[in-house]
């Protein structure tokens, strides 16, 4: 017998058991009369096996109750089982849906707006491409490497929603076979784009990465995710997704090279991205943008001011805002100082 809030599914075996009790017949004798094993009869009575037409016809001969009666009982039972399972699954999924940033997803146009819990669940099941939401937890994007500033259950669900959108968008990208060697070769070319305007470099960047088997996806930030970027395999390609709305140029490029670092250093595809992986990707990113020896020479030999920042940025051929971001990150200047040198990106 199976239950949910609204339904009780009673197997035909309950009625069979009542018939046996009325006749004073035990299961061993009944099994012999039915020409079936005791094990099968036990499962039939407990609703563990389906009552077939053949079984219904045997029941009519043994118990004198029409086969159609037994077939109807089985049909009603199976229908009730489906309703019980769906209602219980819906209740479970409603609790999961409460943890997903649905309003943010609506704002970004990823799902339809609704105030009804069941409609939210249906929309989310379609969005995540699963029969039930509980099926994807921990399995939606295996082997994901990402850069985010905080970890919590809320941020994990936001990450999964964001990564699913990246996966859906990446399917539109036409990429060559994955080629890590070529990616390493074009890193200097990508670095030169830091001096360009997004409307000029975005298409070039997408094309260059596509030639390495990488689908670059730009997505709006989603509240609660603390997310800057993520990288994972999707079929025969690698997806690099970046959060870009209203982002400073230094954060954009640091996040991009951080994610490319994960690829080059072999971090994606693992069961879990470790703190060491994140740290090594950070080191790869900052050294790619500004070689450490040159940066250390600058902070040691020069007074840090607006003029020297601009001169040093020109020397290493990088956007001045990236130098400011590095100085702030490493504590040489306070956050907020020289932010006038930073460039804001709006990438749709």
Token pair for 202: 């975005």
Phi, psi dihedrals of residue 242, rounded to the nearest 5° = -125, 140
Q: How far is CA 201 from CA 185, 190, 205, in A?
A: 18, 9, 6
Q: Give the Cα-Cα-Cα angle 272, 275, 278 (nearest 5 degrees).
A: 90
For 336, phi then psi, to 5°, come to 105, -25
Strand-strand pairing, 214-219 and 237-243: parallel
Helix or strand (DSSP H, E) at 237: strand 237-243
Q: How far is CA 211 from CA 102, 177, 203, 217, 264, in A?
A: 35, 8, 12, 15, 15
- 21 burial (CB, 10 Å; 0-12 / 13-18 / 19+) is exposed
Torsion, Cα of 211, 215, 220, 222 (10° steps): -140
At 25 the pLDDT is 96
Q: Is 238 helix (H, G, I), strand (E, B) or coil?
A: strand
| 96 vs 129: CA distance, rounded Å | 15
Domain boundaries, the chain: 2-93, 145-345
Residue 287 neighbours by CB distance under 10 Å: 15
Distance CA 214, CA 31 (A): 63
Query: In the prediction, which pLDDT does 159 show?
Result: 82
Tens place of pLDDT for every residue, the chain, 348 residues? 788 889 999 999 999 999 999 999 999 999 999 999 999 999 999 999 999 999 999 999 999 999 999 999 999 999 999 999 999 999 999 999 999 999 999 999 999 999 999 999 999 999 999 999 988 765 555 556 655 555 556 677 888 888 899 999 999 999 999 999 999 999 999 999 998 888 889 899 999 999 999 999 998 877 766 667 889 998 899 999 988 755 788 888 999 999 999 999 998 877 677 888 889 999 999 999 999 999 999 999 999 999 999 999 999 999 999 999 999 999 999 988 999 998 887 776
DSSP letter, residue 148: E
| Cα-based distances in Å from 28 to 20, 70, 191, 303 | 11, 21, 80, 96
Q: What is the tally of helices (H) and strands (E) in the chain?
A: 15, 8
Nearest-angstrom CA–CA distance, 159 and 232:
12
Helix (H, G, I), strand (E, B) or coil at 219: strand
The DSSP output letter for 9 is: E
Q: Which CATH superfamily is domain 2-93 in?
A: lambda repressor-like DNA-binding domains (1.10.260.40)
Instruction: Give the Cα separation of 191 and 55 in Å (integer).
Output: 73
Could you tell me whether strands 145-148 and 237-243 are parallel, antiparallel, or unpaired per DSSP bridges?
unpaired
The residue behind tokens 């954060």 is 251
Quick one: pLDDT at residue 270? 74
Listed in sequence order, the residues at least 6 apart from 176 whose beta carbon sits closer than 8 Å to its beta carbon are 210, 211, 212, 213
The whole-number pLDDT of residue 256 equals 94
The rounded distance, in Å, linking the Cα atoms of 44 and 42 is 5
Pairing of strands 214-219, 227-234: unpaired
């Amino acid at each position: 017998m199976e239950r949910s809030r609204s339904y009780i599914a009673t197997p035909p075996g309950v009625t069979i058991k009542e018939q046996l009790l009325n006749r004073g017949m035990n299961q061993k004798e009944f099994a012999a009369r039915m020409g079936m094993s005791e094990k099968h009869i036990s499962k039939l009575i407990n609703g563990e096996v389906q009552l077939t037409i053949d079984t219904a016809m045997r029941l009519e001969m043994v118990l004198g109750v029409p086969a159609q009666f037994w077939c109807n009982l089985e049909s009603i039972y199976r229908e009730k089982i489906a309703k019980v399972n769906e209602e219980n699954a819906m209740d479970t999924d409603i609790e999961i849906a409460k943890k997903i940033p649905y309003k943010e997803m609506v704002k970004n146009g990823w799902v339809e707006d609704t105030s009804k819990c069941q409609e939210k669940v249906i929309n989310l099941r379609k969005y995540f491409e699963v029969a039930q939401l509980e099926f994807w937890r921990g399995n939606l994007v295996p082997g994901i490497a990402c850069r985010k500033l905080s970890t919590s259950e809320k941020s994990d669900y936001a990450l999964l929603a964001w990564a699913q959108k990246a996966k859906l968008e990446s399917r539109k990208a036409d990429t060559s076979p994955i080629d890590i060697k070529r990616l390493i070769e074009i890193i200097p070319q990508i670095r030169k784009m830091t001096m360009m305007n997004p409307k000029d470099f975005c298409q070039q960047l997408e094309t260059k990465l596509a030639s390495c088997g990488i689908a670059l996806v730009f997505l709006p930030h989603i509240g609660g995710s603390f997310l800057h970027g993520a990288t994972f395999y999707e079929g025969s390609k690698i997806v690099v997704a970046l959060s870009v709305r209203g982002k400073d140029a230094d954060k954009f490029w640091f996040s991009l090279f951080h994610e490319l670092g994960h690829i080059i250093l072999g971090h994606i595809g693992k069961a879990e991205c470790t703190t060491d992986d994140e740290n090594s990707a950070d080191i790869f990113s900052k050294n790619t943008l500004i070689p450490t020896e040159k940066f250390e020479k600058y902070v040691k030999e020069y007074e840090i001011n607006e003029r020297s920042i601009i001169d040093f940025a020109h020397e290493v051929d990088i956007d001045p805002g990236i130098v400011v971001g590095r100085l702030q990150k490493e504590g040489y200047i306070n956050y907020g100082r020289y932010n006038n040198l930073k460039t804001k990106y709006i990438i749709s």
